[in-house]
């Protein structure tokens, strides 16, 4: 059962598609209070209770013991000390002494103190007086998730080829660089379906342009790659370069499509191209206009995109950098002591994503000006909706790959997500794994992390172990940053190990695509905590390094360096499948703890007793997979 409680006049976020009659806040069943424009409510927890949810966030599957914030943030340092990442997924669920779920539909900042201040209490603070809260009761966690998912609408489904292996880097700066990647994978006989184009494919980092010196005759080039079975996936950013004569900027200025300052002038901040304006994606006519701009690249044969920098990320504002330079001038010639030096340092390092700058942005909603802080968390979702709605109208369903960095519940209907700029750290393999069920709860089925890690230098074994988890994630993309080690699979020694792992992915694609579509159609999850299936098993309830996959399988990746295997807990008798290229080894195991050896070129998969999964023969491209002749193992 779902109950809806409304306070004030909430902004329409589009998160919930189910029509419900709102109840009076006086009947809200939790202890609550309004103070200084914020609404707080609490519920108690007992020892052994688990709190699930919050989608893309740090720490564990069980969210107890920390304070989280829903505030879409451009922050590449995904450490345990952080409270927010790129997304705002305002769904949590208590399991144990009571079973219920809560969804806070509010695009302003929301704080979740889950047993941090008081170990036996969850305290939720909504930084607004205008919101909807949904309370879901009447079942155990799997049923509660399905009811929530039914209320927020069906998840996005990408094209079939988007389940193939994808290679990205900031940046393959010209056609020759892209060709070297494709040729490297072809020489190593490693499957590949997509190559990504980061900001350098653009002319001066301007959206919906192509650098013709780097990619001459881009349309012919795109179609030539398509003939090879390779899809090129360009990036689109939220900021529009301020430049007279640039058609996108000129149209936005002429029609008043950009976000404003309080005085009605256009809000400006620096990002990749320098000073930019930012489309007001909360307005339907702006979304329609911006979505239509993708046609420029669609006409060139592009059939996939990734939206980035849409929290929105702000490198600096004119006001902020002016104040910083004034401070520097004032400090010139002074003998700076400890406090003086760190003050100047903090002024410049604090230029990016300043709260003062976000607070100076205004949107137009139904003819009234609304401060950005009231709607911050749906800005990126609005950008994604602009593209997704246009693609659905012009291209039809399941034709265009689209995923985004920033997101809010509701965006799951038009796009997938990736988990942002992670690091080449072993701990981020587990962080990726723990985000998967939480993202699925919120409707984001097409998701994944930057395999191998985006920031820092990856080691060969880290990339292989990351890939062995990525074999199972719908989005399987290797992505790395400028200035880091080349981590394309074809650039390491013994490329046959990488081929073995990625061929496992291609053999599993019919199975993975099937469980994806089933999860979408039945409002279910692809990845589940073990506790969902084995709620009375204490070890399973506390396990955070293994996940259930579909109805019949369990995954348990190796996540430590120099480890030749790992300990795995089986909550029932299962078969261990060791998958490597075309090879399959099957080992019967009984319920309990087992240490399993896993070579770097092997992918472990556990299958429930009496169940079998389909495998096809691998191919270099998804288009060449024979999905009609399957082997069941």
444 inside domain: yes
Residue ending a domain, choose from 111, 126, 152: 152
128 inside domain: yes
Can you give the pTM of this predicted structure? 0.97
Residue ending a domain, choose from 110, 130, 152: 152
Identify the pLDDT of residue 27: 95
Q: What CATH code is carried by the domain that includes residue 477?
A: 2.60.40.4040
Split at pLDDT 50, 70, 90, the class of 128 is: very high
CA–CA separation, 535 and 541 (whole Å): 6
Calculate mean pLDDT across residues 564-590. 98
Number of helices followed by number of strands (H, E) in the chain: 15, 38
CA–CA separation, 526 and 561 (whole Å): 27
Split at pLDDT 50, 70, 90, the class of 633 is: very high
CA–CA separation, 95 and 97 (whole Å): 7
Give the HSE-up count for residue 367: Cα atoms under 13 Å, Cβ half-sphere: 0
Of the candidates 563, 558, 550, 546, which has an alpha carbon nearest to the alpha carbon of residue 608?
550
CA–CA separation, 109 and 375 (whole Å): 9
**Over the stretch 459-511, which tens digit does the pLDDT of each residue have?**
999 999 999 999 999 999 999 999 999 999 999 999 999 999 999 999 999 99
Domain that holds residue 478: 424-633
User: How would DSSP label each residue in 67-136?
Assistant: EEEE---------TT-S--SEE--EEEEESSS-EEEEEE-SS-EEEEESSSSTTEEEEEESSS-EEEEEE
238 inside domain: no
Q: Based on the structure, what is the number of domains in the chain? A: 2
Percent of the chain with pLDDT over 70: 100
**Over the stretch 253-299, which tens digit does the pLDDT of each residue have?**
999 999 999 999 999 999 999 999 999 999 999 999 999 999 999 99
Identify the pLDDT of residue 43: 98
457 inside domain: yes
Least confident of 125-134, 145-154, 160-169, 330-339: 330-339
**Interior CA angle at 257 toward 256 and 259, to 5°?**
100
Split at pLDDT 50, 70, 90, the class of 343 is: very high
- H helix or E strand, kind and range, residue 393: helix 379-394
CA 579 from chain centre, in angstroms, equals 27
Identify the pLDDT of residue 470: 98
Identify the pLDDT of residue 420: 97
CA–CA separation, 55 and 408 (whole Å): 10
Q: What is the DSSP letter of 490?
A: G
CA–CA separation, 1 and 480 (whole Å): 44
Q: What CATH code is carried by the domain that includes residue 83?
A: 2.60.40.1760
Identify the pLDDT of residue 99: 98
Structure tokens at 123: 């305290």
Split at pLDDT 50, 70, 90, the class of 230 is: very high
Of the candidates 617, 580, 424, which has an alpha carbon nearest to the alpha carbon of residue 504?
580
Percent of the chain with pLDDT over 90: 100
Identify the pLDDT of residue 552: 97
Q: What is the DSSP letter of 455?
A: B
Residue ending a domain, choose from 89, 120, 152: 152
Calculate mean pLDDT across residues 369-395. 98
pLDDT averaged over every residue in the chain: 97
**Over the stretch 79-100, which tens digit does the pLDDT of each residue have?**
999 999 999 999 999 999 999 9
**Over the stretch 396-449, which tens digit does the pLDDT of each residue have?**
999 999 999 999 999 999 999 999 999 999 999 999 999 999 999 999 999 999
User: How would DSSP label each residue in 568-623?
Assistant: EEESS-EEEEEEETTEEEEEEE-SEEEEEE--TT-EEEEEETT---EE----SSGG
Residues 6+ apart with CB under 8 A from 331: 340, 344
Split at pLDDT 50, 70, 90, the class of 148 is: very high
Of the candidates 120, 127, 125, which has an alpha carbon nearest to the alpha carbon of residue 65?
120
Q: What is the DSSP letter of 519?
A: H
3-class state of residue 348 by DSSP: helix
Query: For the chain, how big is the Rg over CA atoms in Å?
Result: 24
Do 625 and 196 meet the contact criterion of CB atoms below 8 Å apart? no
84 inside domain: yes
19 inside domain: yes
Of the candidates 216, 211, 260, which has an alpha carbon nearest to the alpha carbon of residue 235?
211
CA–CA separation, 460 and 467 (whole Å): 11
39 inside domain: yes
101 inside domain: yes
Identify the pLDDT of residue 152: 98
CA–CA separation, 542 and 545 (whole Å): 9
Q: What is the largest CA-CA distance in the chain?
A: 78
């Amino acid at each position: 059962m779902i109950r809806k409680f409304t306070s004030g006049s909430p902004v329409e976020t589009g998160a919930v598609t189910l029509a419900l009659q709102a109840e009076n806040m006086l009947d809200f069943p939790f202890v609550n209070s309004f103070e200084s424009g914020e609404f707080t409510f609490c519920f108690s927890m007992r020892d052994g209770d688990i709190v699930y949810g919050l989608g893309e966030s740090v720490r564990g599957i069980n969210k107890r013991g920390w304070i989280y914030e829903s505030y879409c943030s451009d922050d590449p340092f995904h450490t345990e000390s952080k409270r927010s990442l790129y997304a705002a997924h305002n769904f949590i669920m208590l399991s144990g002494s009571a079973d219920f779920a809560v969804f806070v539909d509010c695009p302003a900042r929301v704080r979740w103190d889950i047993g941090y201040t008081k170990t036996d209490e969850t305290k939720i603070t909504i930084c607004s007086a205008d919101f909807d809260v949904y309370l879901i009761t009447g079942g155990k966690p799997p049923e509660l998730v399905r009811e929530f998912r039914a209320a927020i609408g069906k998840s996005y489904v990408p094209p079939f080829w988007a389940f193939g292996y994808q290679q990205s880097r900031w940046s393959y700066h010209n056609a020759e660089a892209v060709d070297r990647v494709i040729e490297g994978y072809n020489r190593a006989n490693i499957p590949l379906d997509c190559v990504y184009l980061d900001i350098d494919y653009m002319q001066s980092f301007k959206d919906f342009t192509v650098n013709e010196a780097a990619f001459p005759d881009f349309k012919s080039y795109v179609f030539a790659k398509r003939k090879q079975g390779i899809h090129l996936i360009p990036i689109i950013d939220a900021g529009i370069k301020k430049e007279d004569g640039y058609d996108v900027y000129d149209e936005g200025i002429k029609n008043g499509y950009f976000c404003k300052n309080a005085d009605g002038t256009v809000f400006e901040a620096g990002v990749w191209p320098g000073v930019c304006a930012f489309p007001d994606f909360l307005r339907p006519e702006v979304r329609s206009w911006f979505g239509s701009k993708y046609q420029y690249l669609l006409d060139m044969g592009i059939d996939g995109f990734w939206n980035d920098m849409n929290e929105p990320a702000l490198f600096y504002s004119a006001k902020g950098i002016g104040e910083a330079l004034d401070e520097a001038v004032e400090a010139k010639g002074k003998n700076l002591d400890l406090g003086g030096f760190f003050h100047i340092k903090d002024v410049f390092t604090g230029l990016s994503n300043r709260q003062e700058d976000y607070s100076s942005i205004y949107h137009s909603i139904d003819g009234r000006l609304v401060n950005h802080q009231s709607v911050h968390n749906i800005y990126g979702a609005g950008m994604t909706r602009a593209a997704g709605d246009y693609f659905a109208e012009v291209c039809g369903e399941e034709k265009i790959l689209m995923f985004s960095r920033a997101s809010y519940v509701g965006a799951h209907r038009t796009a997938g997500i990736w988990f942002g700029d992670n690091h080449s750290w072993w701990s981020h393999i587990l962080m990726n794994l723990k985000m998967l069920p939480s993202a699925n709860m919120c409707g984001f089925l097409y998701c994944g992390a930057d395999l191998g890690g985006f920031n820092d230098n990856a080691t060969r074994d880290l990339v292989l172990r990351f890939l062995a988890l990525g074999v199972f994630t719908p989005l399987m993309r290797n992505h790395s940053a400028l200035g880091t080690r080349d981590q394309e699979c074809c650039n390491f020694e013994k490329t046959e190990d990488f081929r073995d792992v990625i061929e496992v992915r291609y053999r599993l694609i019919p199975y993975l695509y099937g469980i994806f579509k089933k999860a979408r159609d039945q409002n279910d999850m692809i990845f589940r905590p073990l506790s969902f299936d084995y709620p009375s098993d204490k070890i399973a309830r506390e396990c955070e390094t293994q996940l259930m996959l579909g109805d019949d399988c369990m995954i348990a990746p190796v996540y430590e360096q120099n480890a030749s295997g790992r300990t795995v807990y089986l909550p029932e008798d299962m078969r261990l499948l060791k998958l490597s290229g075309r090879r399959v080894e099957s080992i019967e195991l009984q319920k309990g703890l087992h240490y399993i050896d896993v070579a770097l070129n092997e992918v472990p998969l556990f299958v429930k007793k009496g169940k079998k999964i389909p495998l096809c023969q691998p191919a270099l491209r998804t288009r060449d997979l024979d999905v009609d002749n399957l082997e069941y193992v």
